[in-house]
Amino acid sequence: MKWLLPALALAAMPACASAEHAVRLPAPTFDVIDTAKSRVAVFAGGCFWGVEGVFEAVKGVKSVTSGYAGGTATTANYADVSSERTRHAEAVRIVYDPRIISYGTLLQIHFGAAHDPTQLNRQGPDTGPSYRSAIFPQSPAQRQIAAAYLAQLGKAKSFGAPIVTRLETGAFFPAEEHHQDFMRRNPNNGYILRWDKPKLAAFRATYPALAR
């Protein structure tokens, strides 16, 4: 949903919303052992505020940045992305320690708790391609793991509807500063209370061993 509001009011309101439930999914049957100290993952799944909030609570995650992926640098800003003509998706860039949490486990959280991968070009009440479900692999290994997990979940019929998540390419661009750490900095925001805090609570309840 888009709001036609003055700029100050728009800045004070959440940009988007996502499903506030979690699904207990099986771990990926195909994953890799990685002894590097740091890796990057980029996921899209509706509102970057809520997705960011979930992954900030994951063990082994060092940092999460909200931003845009799939379009060009010149349109990587909230006003342009909201036009739904930029090819960007609201996304998060996750820096993680693969010795603590694997890429496959991050995917398990993304599909199981961070968003609903069966919603096409939307999450909850927010519609448009910028809210699509997508994965932006940062290496051939990540692409292989993601493709295998999508096939695993599809074969197991883990959801009540087909998974619509896309594997995409494209650079990541950080969002404006006021979007960063939004849930943590604005815990009493009405939209955060309605959508994102319940989602974070559901993640903690469903995947307690993965939460800090």
d(CA 131, CA 180): 17
Q: How many CB atoms lie within 10 A of CB 160?
A: 7
| 22, 44, 47, 91: the active-site residue | 47
**CA 138 – CA 152 distance, rounded (Å):** 21
User: What is the rounded distance in angstroms from the CA atom of residue 107 to the CA atom of residue 167?
Assistant: 12
DSSP class per residue in 136-196: --SSHHHHHHHHHHHHHHHHHT-SSS----EE----EEE--GGGTTHHHH-TT-HHIIIII
Examine the residue annotation and report whether 47 is marked as an active-site residue of this protein.
yes
Residue 150 to residue 207: CA distance in whole angstroms: 19
Which residues does the annotation mark as catalytic?
A: 47
